[in-house]
Structure 1
């Protein structure tokens, strides 16, 4: 099990290999994922405060280039928890004023 820490939300344990978006959502962090985890909308981006998720994937690079997103962020729908980490979601249901986060991403 890995520990995921989210400022203002706390720390929770998840199975290693879990998609970060699902780890957050399943622990009441209402991160947006408007495209359902397909790396199209970039609303699930997080700032990685601690931990390692490897190099940016080609899908992330393309999405960030297309949307003009800073490359120091990660798309939580494209990375998996592989150890303890601390992340800060940039867009949540609460901060956006939307009613729901979007379609649940696939595992």
Structure 2
């Protein structure tokens, strides 16, 4: 079972758990203002270890559009299938002063759960 570590918090999650939901399970109120559809980037994270080498086309497109490609990943588009260490969660309920983190993300990656190597997405 994968372990997700954020700061001093480490939790074991079921394989296939969306990273955004795993971070919430660790007690961190991560933003997901669009509900986990790769439209807003408030669930962006920076990896210290275990960054997946694949991504969804919606994640690639949104990160490229916002100039964040190669620096951040979208937790709503990542499935926990191995151990991961998150270095930074920049948008949280407390850091942004929101009244809520956004609509609850679905248990599975949306809108398109198919992942691709980054090089494949860059050449498309």
Give the TM-score, by structure 2 length: 0.79
TM-score normalised by the chain length of structure 1? 0.90
More helix by share: 2
1:66 maps to 65
Q: 1:22 Cα shift?
A: 0.7
3-state SS of paired residue (1:56): strand
Structure 1 consecutive aligned stretches of length 4 or more whose deviation exceeds 3 Å: none
Q: Is 1:21 equivalent to 2:20 in the alignment?
A: yes
User: Which residue is equivalent to 1:57?
Assistant: 56
The answer as to whether partners of 1:53 and 1:82 remain within 8 angstroms in 2 is: no
> Where do 5+ consecutive residues of structure 1 fail to align?
none
User: Partners of 1:15 and 1:58 in 2: how far apart?
Assistant: 24
Show the counterpart of 2:95. 95
Aligned to 1:104: 104
Alpha-carbon distance in structure 2 between the residues aligned to 1:70 and 1:62: 9
Q: Tell me how far apart the structure 1 counterparts of residues 104 and 14 of structure 2 sit (CA, whole Å).
A: 18
Question: RMSD across aligned C-alpha pairs, in angstroms?
Answer: 1.3
The count of corresponding residues between Structure 1 and Structure 2 is: 106
For the pair shown, which has the larger CA radius of gyration, 1 or 2? 2
Once the two structures are overlaid, the 10-residue window that deviates more, 46-55 or 32-41, is 46-55
Whole-Å separation in 1 of the counterparts to 2:98 and 2:67: 22
Gaps of 5+ in 2: 108-124
Contact 2:10/2:26 (8 A) holds in 1? no
Provide the C-alpha distance between the structure 2 equivalents of 1:61 and 1:15, rounded to a whole number of angstroms: 25
